Amino acid sequence: MTDSGQQTLDLRQPVPDGPIHPGSGRKRFEWRRIFAPLGGLALLAAKFGAKLKALLILLPKIKLFSTSATMLVSIAAYSLIWGWKFAVGFVALLFVHEMGHVIQLRREGLEASAPMFIPFLGAVVWAKSLGDNAAAEARVGLAGPVLGSLGTAALIPIADATGNDLFRALAFTGFFLNLFNLLPVLPLDGGRAMAALSPWMWFVGFAGLVAMVFVFPNPILLLIVLFGAMETWRRWKERKSPAAQEYYKVSPRDRFLVAAVYLALVVLLAFGMSETHIERNFGDV
């Protein structure tokens, strides 16, 4: 849907045949043919994102969308792709991760909702604030991957004891999801941690995320990029205000602890993924 008088991009333009890469014999790289469709997709995603944001604000006020109900909806949705057993385990891992945020928010003296699940987008927790300063925001952000990683690691002895690769596959997925959430870009957990370290890292993480969109294009990554761009730009514009300078004032001790936990999580999660990766020979299928 478009507003009246607004021009739309023609997504039906033919793409030239043949490979498009250096040395392919093509004299001119036709960027317009590539970025025109991407521009149209970005416009659609932005409109979808705005409607999704309005829906997310409304959801906590609707009793129908309780934690258990949204869990069941998500399990049903994921079952269509992976089967119900993996779907149950996957949603349970999301729940443990989100409960890490809930527990830390309440430790900071803040009210927090129970986790609510959105199929194919994960889960969310609502809170009026993430803390009084950037150190508190970092603790809240890291609490999810910390508890999520512990919950995921608990699957490894179960997999070893039962010999069931389902638990190992769930462990690999859990390690990956928690590691992905540590990308240093808002609104991911890693972006929350960077609030206590260096806001400049938001731009490094954002550039990495944009690169991922081009390498592994999918609508979820595109939505994260759009929301991340808006939030990063908002914070960057406000960084010199007295309130922002007070918010981002973090003691050297807190900076060290946040950096240590962040780096330890990255290393351990990468190691966990390596140890739980299952080789598959698709030629035998």
For residue 186, with 0-12 CB atoms within 10 Å meaning exposed, 13-18 middle and 19 or more buried, which class applies? buried
Half-sphere exposure of 63 (CA within 13 A, CB side): 0
Kindly report whether the global pTM for this prediction surpasses the value 0.75: no
> How many structural domains is the chain composed of?
1
Mean pLDDT in residue range 210-230: 77
Is residue 118 domain-resident? yes
For residue 129, with 0-12 CB atoms within 10 Å meaning exposed, 13-18 middle and 19 or more buried, which class applies? middle
Is residue 137 domain-resident? yes
Is residue 31 domain-resident? no
Is residue 6 domain-resident? no
Is residue 231 domain-resident? yes
For residue 269, what are the domain limits?
A: 41-276
Q: What is the pLDDT of residues 244-277, one digit of tens each?
A: 888 888 888 998 999 999 999 999 999 999 888 8
Q: Label the pairing between strands 116-118 and 122-124.
A: antiparallel
- Under 8 Å between Cβ of 60 and 126: yes
pLDDT class for 22, splitting at 50, 70, 90? very low
Neighbours of 154 (CB within 10 A): 13
Across the chain, what does the average pLDDT equal?
A: 77
Is residue 8 domain-resident? no
Is residue 149 domain-resident? yes
Per-residue pLDDT at 200: 76
Is residue 21 domain-resident? no
- Under 8 Å between Cβ of 191 and 183: yes
- According to the per-residue pLDDT averaged within each range, which of 58-72, 120-134, 177-191, 207-221 is highest? 177-191
Alpha-helical regions (H) of 195-247: 200-215, 219-237, 242-247
Q: Tell me which of 44 and 193 has the higher pLDDT.
A: 193
